[in-house]
Structure 1
Amino acid sequence: MIKQLWQRFKQPIDPWLLLFTLLVFLISAVLLYSASNQDTERVSDKMTFMGISLALMWCVASIRQQTWMRLALPAYVTGVVLLLAVEFFGVTSHGATRWLNVGITRIQPSELMRIALPLMLAWYFHHHEAHLDWRHFVVAALIMVVPVALILKQPDLGTALLIASSGFYVLFFAGLAWRVIGLGIIAFGVLAYVVTHWTLCVQILHEYQCRRISTMLDPTSDPLGAGYHIIQGTIAIGSGGWFGKGWLAGTQTHLDFIPERTTDFIFAVYGEEFGLIGNVALIGLYLLVIGRGLLISHAASTTFGRLLAGSIALNFFTYAFVNMGMVSGILPVVGVPLPLISYGGTSMVSILASFGLLMSVQRDRKLMKG
């Protein structure tokens, strides 16, 4: 009986991806205990969310690819409808309207699009793989633009860019022409030039977004205000040296210099206490997760699975890169958590659900081989 239950449990699970995920969770629990000033209740909450997220991952992995293909369009339409509902009935907080009140709790529909958009685009290209041409890429771009534009209007530039990147990765794996990518890079360079000049920036973005960009370029222009986060983050990471100050021994952390040290800036805590060697180890573990995702993508049995898995793997890289870049001062502060490490349940649930999709793709490949 126990053997049968074990066989049923492990059937949809990819052991390597699960192993790498659990190792990241172990680092997260140890780090959160220090970052929260040894708050066992907060660590316990993290473990609870972890258990729920792993259970969700197993449930998602147990569902066949064909079912996810059928759910792609309804999930996308639901996400767009919820984003429209935010526009008319959303809850405003700190000058942004990003949430919907559903009675017992508030939800952030943009989180749904992290999975719904790549699902939809992967389904679309899979449906048209036999006669794919440039017109399908135009339609795919429009599919991507609709939710991104609605999220930008909230306003939520960081989430909009990250969701746009998840859609772009699907287009890339579908065979987007390199000349189009090259033109996109040039356009991005021009946009980067524009937004780094204040008078031009405020004509395109919100003033607070322009301020974040100018602060990134020169944090010392407002060291006790907008530049405080970046300055303290870089001080903490730099003071860790090669081997760090040791677990529970970070002075910047425990003297309360690092803001949001359990969420967006937890990487600064990690860098201070575990140093450059610890940073390299964490980045190496992240690369193992990304590499496993790309291997699953390469071996996928369908176009849908290949595009979806590739997008999920590179999107995980994007979230990690943006958070680390934000904390170390090479990117603007956009409020992106460190994947699987930062405290908070919403991000963890969406990431583990996407890992469940990766496992679903891998499971179908094994069933077809068998």
Structure 2
Amino acid sequence: MWIKTLARRIAAPIDPWLLLFVALLISVSLLTIYSASNESIDKISSKMVSVVVALVAMWILANLKPTQLMWLAPPIYLVGFMLLLGVAMFGEVTNGARRWLNLGFARIQPSELMKLAVPMMLAWYFDRHEANLKFKHFAVAALLTGLPVVLVLKQPDLGTAMLIAAAGFYVLFFAGLSWRVMLALFAAGVAALPVIWSHMHDYQRQRVMTLINPTDDPLGAGYHILQATTAIGSGGVMGKGWLRGTQTHLDFIPERTTDFIFAVYGEEFGLIGNMLLLLLYLCVIGRGLIITSNASSLFGRLLAGALTLSFFTYAFVNMGMVAGILPVVGVPLPLVSYGGTAMLSILIGFGMLMAIQRDRKLMKS
């Protein structure tokens, strides 16, 4: 009897649909990583450890109330911002980028924390001013987003900066930012492209030029895109079959367990497999938007909407990068790529979604 009671308590905060879609994506991940890593048991074991840790973190967050998440938002943002300043001043340089901070007992990447801290902080800010939202509040929110984005760009880390900026923009969008303002911002962004180009690093400019014409340097800058698109195209409709991808197992695909794992999946499972994977992602996004629409507070709606569309951005940017329609920016395929940090931040976000959904159920009862 106590086992059933314990099971009910464990399952109580969990959204079954969201958990189902997450479990299916993790299953796809394990199959693809096993093939991409040349059947490495160590890789699978490491992935499983990361999955367990991330699921526990998700469950812990799912047990919180949205009011508790609101209370946590400002200190988390402040700590994350101070850590970013620490990276700028004392961070470790690896491969020409200063992204990590050594705290003595741990080595952390604060930019990952800001992917969650920024939408939490903005949702908290708008919730506090819900009764009299004005343009100045949107300006302050844009500043709260822009400061960490600038620090992350300085590292440099274009991919993470883009994801943080997107998360902030989604909160502004759900808070009711005027379409006229959005169009004006878009026009200003287009007009500022020459200035942005002049301030980009050489390798970032090269990535843009490679996107336009990857065949210009097929063995250098264009190698990643050409091999990835070749692998996806060679998969055809049905795919070559699990463990039978030639581009994968002849070591043509670079970073095939991380950023370019979608090329491995596309080669082995083909167009049909790609469509099923897209359907899974759409199911996650659809469930997130349902939770967003049913949220019982402005904070819940803004945070849930931003987390859901941020997940969409992750998937879109990675697939677009691998398919050759976006520049290579080093964004992993959510829940599928090997690596624990990105999966931990995503599942913590899903834990927040579950907390928002659970609060709505409690309010109804």
TM range (shorter): over 0.9
Unmatched 5+ residue regions in structure 2?
none
Q: Report the counterpart of residue 352 of structure 1 in structure 2.
A: 347
List aligned pairs for 1:103-252, cutoff 5 A: 103-191=104-192, 194=194, 201=197, 203-252=198-247
Unmatched 5+ residue regions in structure 1?
none
Q: Report the counterpart of residue 88 of structure 1 in structure 2.
A: 89
For the pair 1:311 / 2:342, whether they are aligned, the reply is: no
Counterparts of 1:106 and 1:353, CA distance in 2: 19
State the one-letter code of the partner of 1:352: L
Q: Report the counterpart of residue 40 of structure 2 in structure 1.
A: 39
State the one-letter code of the partner of 1:46: K
The CA deviation at 1:368 is: 0.5
Q: Report the counterpart of residue 75 of structure 1 in structure 2.
A: 76
Corresponding residue SS for 1:99: strand
The CA deviation at 1:44 is: 1.1
The two structures, once aligned, show a CA RMSD in angstroms of: 1.0
Of 326, 330, 348, the residue aligned with 1:331 is 326
Of 305, 316, 320, the residue aligned with 2:315 is 320
Corresponding residue SS for 1:97: strand
The CA deviation at 1:221 is: 1.1
List aligned pairs for 1:276-295, cutoff 5 A: 276-295=271-290
Of 262, 266, 277, the residue aligned with 1:267 is 262
Counterparts of 1:351 and 1:89, CA distance in 2: 27
The CA deviation at 1:191 is: 4.6
The CA deviation at 1:117 is: 0.4
Counterparts of 1:164 and 1:112, CA distance in 2: 13
The CA deviation at 1:189 is: 3.4
The superposition leaves residues 27-61 of structure 1 with CA deviations (integer Å, 9 ceiling, x where unpaired) of 11111110100001101110111011101100010
Corresponding residue SS for 1:168: helix
The CA deviation at 1:326 is: 0.5
Percent identity between the aligned chains? 62
Counterparts of 2:146 and 2:35, CA distance in 1: 41
The superposition leaves residues 68-113 of structure 1 with CA deviations (integer Å, 9 ceiling, x where unpaired) of 1011000000011000000111000111101001224311000000
List aligned pairs for 1:41-60, cutoff 5 A: 41-60=42-61
Q: Which moved more, 1:101-110 or 1:173-182?
A: 101-110
Corresponding residue SS for 2:99: strand
TM-score (norm 2): 0.98
Q: Number of aligned residue pairs: give it.
A: 364
The superposition leaves residues 180-216 of structure 1 with CA deviations (integer Å, 9 ceiling, x where unpaired) of 1112222333455x38xxxx82x22111110111111
Counterparts of 2:105 and 2:224, CA distance in 1: 33
Counterparts of 2:185 and 2:159, CA distance in 1: 18
Corresponding residue SS for 1:356: helix
Corresponding residue SS for 1:98: strand
TM-score (norm 1): 0.97
Counterparts of 1:321 and 1:312, CA distance in 2: 14
Corresponding residue SS for 1:92: strand
The superposition leaves residues 222-275 of structure 1 with CA deviations (integer Å, 9 ceiling, x where unpaired) of 111111000000000011111111100000000000000000000000000001
Counterparts of 1:127 and 1:144, CA distance in 2: 17
Counterparts of 1:189 and 1:159, CA distance in 2: 21
